[in-house]
Structure formats: C-alpha cells, structure tokens
Amino acid sequence: MINRFSDRITICGLLCSAVLALTTVPASAGVGNAPVPKTTGNFNNPDVMPLQSSPFGATYEEWSARFWQWQFSLPVNANPIFDTADCSAGQSGHVWFLGGSALGFQTSPGVVTATANRACNVPPGTALFFPVVNNECSTIPGDQVPPFTSALTDLKPCARFASSFIDPSPGKLYVILDGVSIKALTQYEVSSPLFTFGPLPDNNVLQSFGLVAPAGTTAQSVSDGIQLMLHPLSAGKHVLHFHAETDLSPLGLPRFIQDITYYLTVGH
C-alpha cells in the first residue's frame, strides 16, 4: 500500500494547482469556432495545434481546466481513467479528452507504475486533448502538495511546484503518434486559470483517494502540466503512445511512471 499522495498522482501524473485568474472556465467543450489550421513553426509538430492558438475558441490553458472538469464529473465506476468506461464517456463537441491511468502499482522499491492499453473509437473531425503528465491543486482539503494549503493564493505555486518534478530526460518523457515522435514536449507546459469544478458525483475521483468530497461538492482549482491538442486525425487507425516519469524522491515519495497507449479508430 502506498501513501495517499503517491496514490493521487496516479490520476495523471502529479497533483497541484495555480491561481492565474479569477475566471471560471465553462465545462462545455467544442463550441463555436472552426479548428485552427495546421502551421509551421509549431516546434515542427504538424499534428499538434500551436501552443499560442485558441482551438475551437479556447486556449490551451482553458482546455487544461476543461480536462479536469470532465474527469471530475465522472464517477469512478464510469470513468475512463479507471478503465470502467470507454473513451466516449462524458465526451461531446469538437474536442475529446484522453486521460492517463488512476491504477498505479508499486513495481519495484520506490517506483509506482501506471500503464494502460486502450481502444478508442473517435468521431471524424474530432480534435484530441490530452495531458502527457499533469496535476491540479484545489480548495478541497488535502488536494495539495505539502507544504501548500487550500488557500487560493497557494494553488498556482502548488501546481507549478509539483510539475517541477517531471523528469525531461531522454526516454523519460515522450509522445509517439503513428511512429513519429512529438518534439519539444516541455514547451507545451501550461498552467490553467483558476477554475471551478463540480458539483461532484457520488463515488467521485477525489473520494477514491481518501479526500472528503461528498456528492454535490464544488471547488476551485488550478492545473499545470505538459498537454497537447492534436488536430483531427485522418479516417482509419492510429496509435498514440505517451510516457512520463515524475521523480518525487526529493519529497520522500516514489518515482511515478505513466505509460499509456491508445489504439484509435477514426470513423469516416
């Protein structure tokens, strides 16, 4: 049995938060604007929407908040990150979210590993937003990295602090789409604005990690991490593989390894 914080980081990579702005990001995804065109100068990653763009009317920072709103809206027994639902759960609009895994296990002394191999059917014309590794800190008691608290002013530094333990070494952080590596991943680290999530369902993600977050709870949070928005993929089959490692040994906690593969089928 690993301690609570080690468990919590298996959600997607770490924990954390931030206090960028006092605006609430709406949970609805993919309304309004057309997708941004593919451009050069995007760290030479033509399949990734530019970091400075606003895909479907929202920035990367805002999409990172919407990712957590999506994840926290789903109960544990119907949630893709627990492999209790397929990737379509809670999805709508022009953008779908792909999650990591909440099912981490101690694979060697001082190492916790979460792996998943998932099949996912994606509607045509759908962009995919996913965290390679991310975290959030919220006003829920205990949903922070020590020594930070649930105070709003602690949320952003909490999230940035957690992200500082991401290991960018070769072989420790990578994304491969259809055999092609995505370059310059650390350039895609973003912090969300302050956002609201909830009302939480019963049997929610935070409850599963021992936090007091009964059904109906709302809270404020900030997230931080390395996150990508893929242009809609061509019809047919694709393979997305992402891997990240977070070295928490300076905090007396395990190294966390996440290794996720999605076998994507895009409809016609």
Give the number of C-alpha atoms closer than 13 A to the C-alpha of residue 108, restricted to the C-beta side: 2
Residue 70 has pLDDT above 90, yes or no: yes
The alpha-carbon radius of gyration of the chain (Å, integer) is 17
| Integer Cα distance of 37 and 126 in angstroms | 14
- Check residue 123 and give its pLDDT: 98
pLDDT band at residue 43 using 50, 70 and 90 as cut-offs: confident
pLDDT band at 95 (very low <50, low <70, confident <90, very high): very high
Checking if the pLDDT of 5 tops 90, the result is no
**Strand order across the 255-266 sheet:** 104-108, 111-122, 255-266, 236-247, 173-177, 180-181
pLDDT of residue 42: 63
The whole-number pLDDT of residue 118 equals 98
C-alpha–C-alpha distance, residues 114 and 9, integer Å: 10
Number of continuous H segments (helices) and E segments (strands) in the chain = 4, 11
Residue 244 pLDDT > 90, yes or no?
Answer: yes
Residue ranges covered by each domain of the chain: 4-29+47-266
Please state which of the ranges 10-19, 42-51, 198-207 shows the lowest mean pLDDT.
10-19
pLDDT of the residue at 255:
96
Question: Is the pLDDT reported for residue 40 higher than 70?
Answer: no
pLDDT band for 194, please (50, 70, 90 cuts).
Answer: very high
pTM here is: 0.86
Coil, strand, or helix at residue 251?
helix
Report percent pLDDT > 90 for the chain.
81
pLDDT of residue 225: 98
Beta bridge partners of 224: 135, 191
pLDDT of residue 11: 36
Helix (H, G, I), strand (E, B) or coil at 81: helix
| CA-closest candidate to residue 66, choices 175, 185, 193 | 193
pLDDT tens-digit readout, 148-186: 999 999 999 999 999 999 999 999 999 999 999 999 999
The per-residue pLDDT of the chain, averaged, comes to 87
- What is the band of 220 on the pLDDT scale with cuts at 50, 70, 90? very high
Q: For residue 44, is it left (φ>0), alpha (ψ between -120 and 50) or beta?
A: left
Alpha carbon distance, N-terminus to C-terminus of the chain? 45
Q: 131 forms bridges with which residues in the sheet? A: 227
> By three-state DSSP, how is residue 29 classified?
coil
Mean pLDDT across 203-212? 96
203 pLDDT tier (thresholds 50, 70, 90): very high
